Amino acid sequence: MTLFEKIIQRHIPADIVFEDDQVLAFKDINPAAPTHVLVIPKRPISRIDAANAEDQSLIGHLMLKAAEIARELKLENGFRLVINNGPDGGESVPHLHCHILGGRALQWPPG
């Protein structure tokens, strides 16, 4: 079981900001910006590269919820959604997650 499945099942605690039947959103334990929330599907998909056509509506739902959560977190000045994939992408937990980053001006390109 991945770390994020343990958070979904409440085996380890997290600061949850949103939940419905398909996704869970919680604060990142090591925030990279003043607001840093992770949105994950409850169905375990290891990474975006492992998603398939059956996951289309779930991933669409996840992205729309990420934008809705960003609005609720008052990131009206802008925010960034990030999905890291694989070693070069910086993925460290093999359960698909979308980072919501905001609360400061973010640099581009990323490091």
| Cβ–Cβ under 8 Å, residues 11 and 47 | no
Q: Judged by CB under 6 A, which stretch of 20-28, 56-64, 66-74, 100-108 contacts ligand 5GP?
A: 20-28
Residue window 48-77: x/- pattern of binding to ligand 5GP, with contact defined by CB under 6 A: ------------------------------
- Region of 6 (left: φ > 0; alpha: ψ -120 to 50; beta: rest) is alpha
Examine residue 93 and tell whether it contacts ligand 5GP (CB under 6 A): yes
11 given a catalytic annotation: no
**Strands annotated E in 28-73:** 35-41
